[in-house]
C-alpha cells in the first residue's frame, strides 16, 4: 500500500515510454515556450503569504519545466504565488511543455534546471542517462478513478473488485494519450481482474475539457484519470466504477505506483547545490502550506486562476487530490514500482534519488 502521508492527485498526464521517443529525447530534442500569464515567471507573492526576501543578494533564477493547465503543476505555481521561492532566494522562470519525453530531454540537456516528470518517462530516461536525478521533495502517487456514463454502467459497477473492473468489458474508454501512463495503468487494472485489454476500445481524449465533452457526447463510454466531481459539475450523468482511494477497489495494479516526480539533472545538482537545496525547501514549504485545511480557500483561488476554472471546481479537485501527494520518497517505495510502470529494471535508488533535498 502507499505511504499514509497526504498526496496530490494527477489531473492530466503526458508522455509515453516508447523506445523511439526516449531515444529522441536523449538525443536532445525538446520543445518549450515561456509560460503564459497564468503561471508568470516572476509572480507577485500573495499578501497572505510569506514576505519575499528583502535587501540582499538578488534571487537566483531557476528554469522550471511544467505542464500548464493541469493540477500536476499546481504546486509549483503555489510555491511561486505564495512567495515561497522568493523567500528562499529563488526566482521561478516557468517554461511550458506538452509532452513528457520533451520535458525529460530538456532536463537531461540542461535546457531547464528542474521539472515535473512523468514517472514512466523518468524511469526510462534514468536507465539510459546518468544525468537524470529524482528529488524527494515532491511525489504524486497514481490514483486514477474510472468513471462510466450512467447509461453504460451495469449492476456490477459498484460491486467492488474484480466485478467492478469486469463491468468495463466492451466499453469505449477514454485515456489521455494512447500508449501513455494512463493507458498502461488501465491495462494493468484490467489484467489484474482477469480482463484482457483487447476487450475494451481505447480512445485518446486529450485534455480534461475535451475528455468530458467526449463522454457527454457519447464518443466514449468511460474516462480514466478525470476527477468525478469535475465530470459531475460539467453536467454529465456518470458513476465512479473504480475508486483507487478505496483499499483494493482498483486491485493491486496501483499499489505504490508513482505518477509524478520532481526531477533535475545531476550536472545542475553538482554545480548549484545550494540553489537546488533552497528550491527544495520552497517546494516542501509549499506542500506543507497547501496541506493545511486553513489554506484551502487561498490555494483554490490560485489553482482556479492557473487552470481558468471556477473556484468551487478547483477546491473540489484539491480536496480529492491531497490523498495522493507525498513529500517523501523512501527506498522501499522506489523498489516496489510495478513493471508496467517502470518498463524494465528500476534504476538504483542510491544513484538516482536525492531524498533529502531541502531537509
Q: Report the CATH number that the domain containing residue 125 is assigned in CATH.
A: 3.40.190.10
In a domain, 13, yes or no: no
Residue 342 DSSP label: H
Note whether 196 and 274 are same-domain residues: no
Note whether 300 and 264 are same-domain residues: yes
Residue 214 has pLDDT above 70, yes or no: yes
Q: Which of 238, 254, 270 is the last residue in one of the domains?
A: 254
In a domain, 225, yes or no: yes
Note whether 208 and 337 are same-domain residues: no
44: confidence class by pLDDT, cuts 50, 70, 90 = very low
Note whether 221 and 284 are same-domain residues: no
Output phi, psi for 146, to 5 deg: -120, 120
- Helix and strand element counts for the chain (H, E): 16, 13
In a domain, 359, yes or no: no
Q: Which of 233, 254, 275 is the last residue in one of the domains?
A: 254
Note whether 249 and 264 are same-domain residues: no
Decide which of 153 and 179 is more confident. 153
pLDDT for residue 234: 81
d(CA 112, CA 301): 28
pLDDT for residue 56: 60
Residues 135-157: b if buried by 16+ CB within 10 A, e if exposed: bbbbbbbbbbbbbbbeebbbeeb
Q: Which of 4-8, 25-29, 326-330 has the highest mean pLDDT?
A: 326-330
Decide which of 62 and 16 is more confident. 62
Q: Which of 69-73, 82-86, 288-292 has the highest mean pLDDT?
A: 82-86
In a domain, 124, yes or no: yes
Note whether 270 and 338 are same-domain residues: yes
In a domain, 7, yes or no: no
Q: Which of 127, 141, 157 is nearest to 336 (CA)?
A: 141
pLDDT for residue 180: 82
DSSP H helical segments within the chain, as ranges?
19-26, 74-81, 84-87, 100-109, 119-128, 163-166, 181-192, 208-216, 228-233, 266-271, 273-291, 296-307, 311-321, 331-334, 339-342, 349-352
Q: Which of 39-53, 57-71, 170-184, 263-277 has the highest mean pLDDT?
A: 263-277
Q: What value does the mean pLDDT take over residues 255-273?
A: 94
d(CA 174, CA 182): 10
Q: Which three cell numbers stand for residue 331?
A: 527506498
Residue 321 has pLDDT above 70, yes or no: yes
Note whether 151 and 229 are same-domain residues: yes
Domain coverage including residue 241: 146-254
In a domain, 14, yes or no: no
Note whether 108 and 28 are same-domain residues: yes
Q: What value does the mean pLDDT take over residues 34-57?
A: 42
In a domain, 131, yes or no: yes
Note whether 33 and 138 are same-domain residues: yes
Q: Which of 219, 254, 289 is the last residue in one of the domains?
A: 254
42: confidence class by pLDDT, cuts 50, 70, 90 = very low
Q: Structurally, how many domains does the chain consist of?
A: 2
9: confidence class by pLDDT, cuts 50, 70, 90 = very low
Amino acid at each position: 500500500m502507499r505511504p499514509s502521508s497526504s498526496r496530490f492527485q494527477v489531473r492530466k498526464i503526458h508522455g509515453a515510454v516508447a523506445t523511439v521517443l526516449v531515444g529522441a529525447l536523449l538525443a536532445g530534442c525538446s520543445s518549450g515556450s515561456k509560460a503564459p500569464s497564468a503561471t508568470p515567471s516572476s509572480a507577485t507573492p500573495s499578501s497572505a503569504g510569506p514576505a519575499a526576501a528583502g535587501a540582499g543578494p538578488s534571487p537566483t533564477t531557476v528554469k522550471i519545466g511544467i505542464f500548464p493547465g493541469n493540477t500536476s503543476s499546481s504546486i509549483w505555481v503555489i510555491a511561486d504565488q505564495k512567495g515561497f521561492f522568493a523567500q528562499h532566494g529563488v526566482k521561478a522562470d516557468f517554461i511550458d511543455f506538452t509532452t513528457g519525453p520533451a520535458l525529460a530531454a530538456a532536463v537531461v540537456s540542461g535546457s531547464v534546471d528542474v521539472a515535473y516528470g512523468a514517472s514512466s518517462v523518468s524511469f526510462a530516461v534514468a536507465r539510459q542517462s546518468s544525468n537524470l536525478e529524482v528529488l524527494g521533495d515532491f511525489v504524486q502517487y497514481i490514483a486514477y478513478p474510472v468513471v462510466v456514463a450512467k447509461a453504460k454502467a451495469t449492476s456490477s459497477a459498484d460491486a467492488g473488485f474484480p466485478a467492478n473492473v469486469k463491468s468495463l468489458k466492451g466499453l469505449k474508454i477514454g485515456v489521455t494519450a494512447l500508449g501513455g501512463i494512463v493507458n498502461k495503468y488501465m491495462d494493468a487494472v484490467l489484467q489484474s481482474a482477469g480482463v484482457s485489454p483487447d476487450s475494451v476500445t481505447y480512445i485518446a481524449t486529450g485534455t480534461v475539457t475535451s475528455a468530458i465533452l467526449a463522454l457527454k457526447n457519447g464518443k466514449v463510454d468511460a474516462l480514466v484519470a478525470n476527477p468525478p466531481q469535475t465530470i459531475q459539475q460539467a453536467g454529465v450523468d456518470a458513476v465512479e466504477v473504480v475508486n483507487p482511494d478505496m483499499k483494493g477497489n482498483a486491485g493491486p495494479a496501483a499499489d505504490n505506483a508513482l505518477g509524478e516526480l520532481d526531477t533535475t539533472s545531476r550536472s545542475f545538482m553538482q554545480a548549484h547545490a545550494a540553489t537546488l537545496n533552497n528550491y527544495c525547501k520552497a517546494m516542501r514549504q509549499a506542500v506543507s502550506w497547501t496541506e493545511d485545511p486553513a489554506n484551502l480557500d487561498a490555494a483554490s483561488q490560485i489553482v482556479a486562476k492557473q487552470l481558468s476554472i471556477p473556484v468551487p471546481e478547483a477546491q473540489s479537485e484539491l480536496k480529492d487530490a491531497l490523498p495522493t501527494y507525498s513529500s517523501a520518497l523512501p527506498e522501499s517505495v522506489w523498489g516496489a514500482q510495478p513493471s508496467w510502470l517502470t518498463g524494465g529494471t528500476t534504476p538504483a535508488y542510491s544513484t538516482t534519488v536525492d531524498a533529502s533535498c531541502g531537509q
